[in-house]
Each structure stands twice: as C-alpha cells, then as structure tokens.
Structure 1
Amino acid sequence: MAETVSSWFASLNSLYTPLSSHFDAAKSHKDSVEARLNYVIGVYRMFEIGSLRHGTGIWRHSDADYLASLKGGRPQSSTTMLNKVRDALIGRFLNTTISVRSPAVVCRFSDCEVEVVPGYVADTTNGPGYWIADPASTGGWMKTYPEAHNDFVNSVNKKVGGGAKTLARQLKVWKYERDVPVSSCYLEMRAAKYMEGQQSYVSIFDLYLSLSSIYSANLAAMNDPTGLGSRFTACSSDAAKTVALSKLSTAVSRSYRAFDHYQAGDHAKSIGQLKLLFNR
C-alpha cells in the first residue's frame, strides 16, 4: 500500500517522541544538583519545566530542564546569578563541563545534558511566577510562569484532540533538523496560540498555516498568552533572526507545496516536499 501523508506524519511523530526512559539519566542527577545549589546558595524548590514537562520534547535534541527557585535577594544583573550558579556547580561536578547558556546553566554530564534555569520568586498571587535571565538582553530579567504556561498548552491541546502538542513537536523537529536559530519555547507557544483559534487539527493544513503566521509576524516577540509573564522572544540576536527568517521562508514555501500536492491527491509529491521541509 502506498504511503499517505497521514501515515508519514504518524511515523515522523513517533520517531521524534522520546520515551520516558530516555530521560532517566537526567532525572538521576536532579537531586545532587539541587543539593549543591541549596548548600551554596539556598533553594526553595527545583522542579521540571520545558518541553519534557509539556510532552513536546524531541528525541535526541531535548534536554531535561529544571527551574531552581533561589533564596536571597535578586541581584541587579541576571548575569551575576547565572555565574554564581555555574560556579557553585563547577565546584561540585569537577569532571563535568558546565557553562552558561542564558537563561540556563548547562551541565553536560557523561550520560546526558541537564539545563538548570535559576530564578527568584516574582509573584504568588497569580500562581508561581519567577524572574529568570532574559536571553535577549545581557544581564536583563524576564518574568515567567511555567506552570501557567503548561496549563495553557494543555487546555488548548485538549480542545483540539492533541493537535497543539503535535504541531509544536513538528515545528521543533523542523528547527532542529534544519538548524534554525529560534527558541523552542517560542515555537511551542506560537503553536498553542495558533491552535487556540482552531476548532480541530489537520496536520498538513495547520503546519502550513502556522508556519505562515509565524513568518507573517516576522518572528516578532509575542505576548504571553496567559497575560502574566514577559513577552516570548524568538531569537537571541538580530543576526540569528535574519538566518531564522530565511529558513522560515523556505519552510513556508515547502509546506505550501506539500499542502497543494495533498489537495490534488498526489501524496507522493506531498511527502517529497515534507521530506525536504524536515530534512528527512
């Protein structure tokens, strides 16, 4: 039987959906990282955030992300906080490469990579909010509500039968396989916001329209859809944005051709364009 667009998407989604066991190594380091930060700096709690928490992680690309809620006063510069956390972890994990990649401190253990996003409590009236480093502003701060963001994605995902997370994963696969310098979090929130306005999910149709909408927005920073936190920034620099827009333009063209062939009933040509889009 000839492969269809639907079956091709199903295979793509299955291939890039990580198993829970893929992250056992990262989770095994969580307690020792938290203990070290609590000893040196003081930690209220450290909990999992990011794509794995949301169920939109990408096999071979997504790391285990944790937010560490730090005790003490927030310094004027977020760089001070990041360097302090980095130095604390270097003092404990002597044989591990540890570096700053704002807004996180990245620990490259021998068996996995763990990202620690340090922050300070910013708000409790609207649910837990935190000040974390702003990757688009050296030394700057941004406010984030990871649990509220998770709730938003989950609510939209439920409304469209799982389509919000499926679309977010596809956008991230494109990002990683085409080496696009754009924030994974930005793509996930764009996908959820786009699907919020849809009544159902149709993979090839919504892939094209979501890519088109992101391109039409010129990768502009987007408002937090929960109305609580800072705006989501797409790229870390103007140079990265230029590269990302160029690759996004190509992605829009390929997704349109894939959709056009699909409408004409030519699944083989449609899949050919999808393979180009995702570098498969």
Structure 2
Amino acid sequence: MTETARSWLNSLNSLYTPTSTQFDAAKSHRASIESRLDAFLGVYEMFEIGSLRHGTGVWQHSDADYMVSLKGVRPSSPWTMLNRVKETLQARFQGTTIGVSRPAVVCYFSDGVVEVVPAYPSDSGYWIADPADGWMKSYPKSHNKYVNDVNTKHNGAAKALARQLKIWKYLRNVPISSCYLEMRAAKHLEGESTYLPFWDLYLALNKMYDANLAAMNDPTGLGSRFGACSSEAKRLDALSKLGSAVVRANKARDFESDGKDAHAIEQLKLLFNR
C-alpha cells in the first residue's frame, strides 16, 4: 500500500516521541540532587518541568529538566545562584561534568543529562536567570496549564504540532528556543477551530517567519515575553532556516491537498532533513 503524506508525518511524530522508560536513568538522580541542595542551600520544592514532563519531548534530544525553588535571599546577580548550585552539586558528583547553561545547571551523568533550573519563589511564579541577562519571572505551572488547555481543545494536536516544530529544530540544527516553539504552536492553535496537520504546520512556521522571530507576549498574561534566540546572530541563522522551512511546508501542504502524496513526502523529507 502506498504511504500517504499524513501517515508519514504521523510516523515521524511517533518515532521521535520518547517512551515512558527512556529517561528513567536520568530521572533516578533526582532524589540525590534534591537532597544535596536541600542540605547545603535549602529547598522549598523540586519539580519536573520541560518537554519530557509536558509530553512534547523529542527522542534523543530532550533532557530531564527540574526546577528547584531555593530558600534564602535572592542575590543581586543570578550568576551567584547558578555558581552556588553548580559548586554544591560538583562537590557531590565529583566524577560528573557539570556546567552552566542559563538558566540551568547541567549535569552530564553517564546514563543521562539532567538540567536543574535554580529559582527563588515570589508572590506569583519564580525568579530564574534570564538567558540574556539578569533575572526573569517564570510561570512553568501556569504555562503548562495553558498548553494543556489548548491541547485538550484540539484532541492532542497542540503537543503534536509542538513536537513537529522541535523535530525540525533539532534535525535542521536551528538555534531557536524549544519553549518558544511550544508556546507559538499553542498560541496558533488557540485561535483555530479545527486542526489540519499540513495547514497548521505551514501556518505555525509562516507566522514565526512573518514576525521575524520576534519575542512573543506571554499568552497567559503573567510573565515577560518569550524570546526566540539567545543572540542576534542566532536569530538571523534561525530566520534563514525558517524561510526554507516555510517554502517546503507550503509545498507539502499544496501537494497533500492535491492528493500528490509522494511529492508531499519529498517536501517533508527536505523540511525535516530525513
């Protein structure tokens, strides 16, 4: 039986959907990380965040991510917080490479990577290190609820679309924030009455291109804007690759609409570098 473009796209999504056990090894370090930080810095809570927890992770690319809410007074510089957490964990896991990639402290365990985002609680949300500079507010629980609500409205499509955008990012080496892609996918589908896989993949990419990958307003109205890239050079690189993606997604949409599945699949393979 001839493969359809829709079945090809579904297979791609399935291939890059992590199983429930693939990150068990990395997650097994949670208790020891929390115990160490609580003993030396004081911890209010530590909870899983990021794409794996949220159901938009990408196999072979996503890490186990946690936010740790710290006790004490928030220092003037987030680097003070990040370095304290790094040094505290390095003393505990001496054979493990541990680095800082704002806003996270990254632990490269032999059986998996764990990213720890240190934070200080506030009346609403958490203060974390801004990837650009200084401090920023983060609302991971509220943002997860927003994406979940849109996802429920479209029977799982918001997370499927977000994963497709992330697969494109990783396979095409696009220097763009995964969080930005997820929020863009949800924001796009929030305004749609139905989900059409090829149309919505094209439209989500095209909207970002038309916006020149500008920072987007927090759709929950709670936090600051979501930035797409960590530098202007990376934004220009991502924008160039996004332009090619828009052209290929548009061609795939047209071919699929015309029943030319083989041609649509060719464009999808170019889009996702498969």
Q: Please give the TM-score of this superposition, normalised by the length of structure 2.
A: 0.99
The Cα RMSD (Å) is 0.7
Does the CA contact (< 8 Å) of 1:161 and 1:200 recur in 2?
Answer: no
Deviations along 1:24-82, one digit per CA (max 9) or x if unpaired, are: 11111000001111111111110000111110000000001000000011111111111
Does the CA contact (< 8 Å) of 1:82 and 1:100 recur in 2?
Answer: yes
User: In the alignment, is residue 113 of structure 1 matched against residue 109 of structure 2?
Assistant: no
Q: What SS does the aligned partner of 1:82 have?
A: helix
The residue number in structure 2 matching 1:229 is 223
The residue number in structure 2 matching 1:13 is 13
* 1:1-280 equivalence runs, <5 A: 1-124=1-124, 129-137=125-133, 140-280=134-274
Superposition misfits of 4+ residues, deviation over 3 angstroms: none
Q: Distance in 2 between matches of 1:122 and 1:251?
A: 40
Structure 1 window deviating more from structure 2 (109-118 vs 219-228): it is: 219-228
Structure 1: give runs of 5+ residues left out of the alignment.
none
Q: What SS does the aligned partner of 2:176 have?
A: coil
Q: What SS does the aligned partner of 1:108 have?
A: strand
Q: Please give the TM-score of this superposition, normalised by the length of structure 1.
A: 0.96
1:9 Cα deviation after fit = 1.1
Deviations along 1:96-155, one digit per CA (max 9) or x if unpaired, are: 00000001000000000000000000224xxxx100011022xx1110110100100000
Deviations along 1:179-206, one digit per CA (max 9) or x if unpaired, are: 0000000000000000000111111110
1:230 Cα deviation after fit = 1.7
Structure 2: give runs of 5+ residues left out of the alignment.
none
Q: Distance in 2 between matches of 1:233 and 1:180?
A: 14
1:10 Cα deviation after fit = 1.2
1:262 Cα deviation after fit = 1.3
Q: What SS does the aligned partner of 1:21 have?
A: coil
What is the number of equivalent residue pairs in this alignment? 274
Does the CA contact (< 8 Å) of 1:136 and 1:233 recur in 2?
Answer: no
